[in-house]
Amino acid sequence: MPALSSEHKLPPIVEVMGLPVRSLLVDELIELVVGRARDGQRTRIGYCNAHTTNMALDDAQLNADLAAMDILYADGAAIVWASQLGEHTLPERMTAAGFFNGFIEKAAAARLKLFLLGGEAGIAETAAISMQAVDDGVGIVGTQHGFFEYADAARVVETINDANPDVVLVGLSTPRQERWVQEYADRLHAPILWCVGALFDYYAGREQRGPSWLCDHGGEWLYRLWEDPAGKWKRYLLGNPLFVSRAAKWGWERRRHKHEAKNDITNAPGGDA
């Protein structure tokens, strides 16, 4: 395996509500993934937002799977906001549907090979066509829908390994995609395993993004709720307030513990008066 370049080392972690989120800008994330893929550095990538964090706080297995990612990045503005209640603040949100064209162009320039795993039958294939329209130099070496049985997992792994990709994009939805990456990471030869959620649906035209002015100001969830109120109302109208209350409690407990620790030091023998 080639030596890892210093610029491809993992950045510092910012702890947000118990999750180890990497402090990254979008351009840094893209360069990091491309560089590590090119160098053959095995890397598991996941994301967190208000919804996945709520799920992780109620699901110990998902929490462990997210914590075990080599790169966990802030997919939602809510995570950046919550980080402000802790020790360090994350620089920006990074939603794959917003930045992935940039990754495709960099991957094409680096001659990386991609495999798309996930979505309903035909979605990954349609997404692959759209990705190639972004840059026809991108090498998509295979696709596989996500509606396969657990008993077929070994066959899916073999199919991916036979295609010999550098990056496997895993869009199986949370928590299945995170569990699948952790469970099969040792059997897959690709250096990069990247959980991408509903990304294929965006490229296939099944999901639409809101206007940039809304997305850039943390309001993309409003557009998604407006587009699919029946499917998204619980996630946003119940989930968002739950996340805010949990984040506020986490931030208050951190401040209280920090204050108590400072008092312990001050009151210790030989401490400051």
The domains found in the chain, sorted by start residue, are 11-248 (3.40.50.2300)
Token pair belonging to 136: 């026809």
The whole-angstrom separation of Cα 254 and Cα 258 is: 6
Over the stretch 171-189, which tens digit does the pLDDT of each residue have? 999 999 999 999 999 999 9
| Dihedrals phi, psi of 180, to nearest 5 degrees | -65, -45
Over the stretch 19-68, which tens digit does the pLDDT of each residue have? 999 999 999 999 999 999 999 999 999 999 999 999 999 999 999 999 99
Who's near 109: CB < 8 A, 6+ residues apart?
137
Query: Would the pLDDT of 108 be above 90?
Result: yes
Average pLDDT over the chain, rounded to whole?
90
pLDDT at residue 230 in the model: 83
pLDDT at residue 273 in the model: 45
The whole-angstrom separation of Cα 155 and Cα 160 is: 9
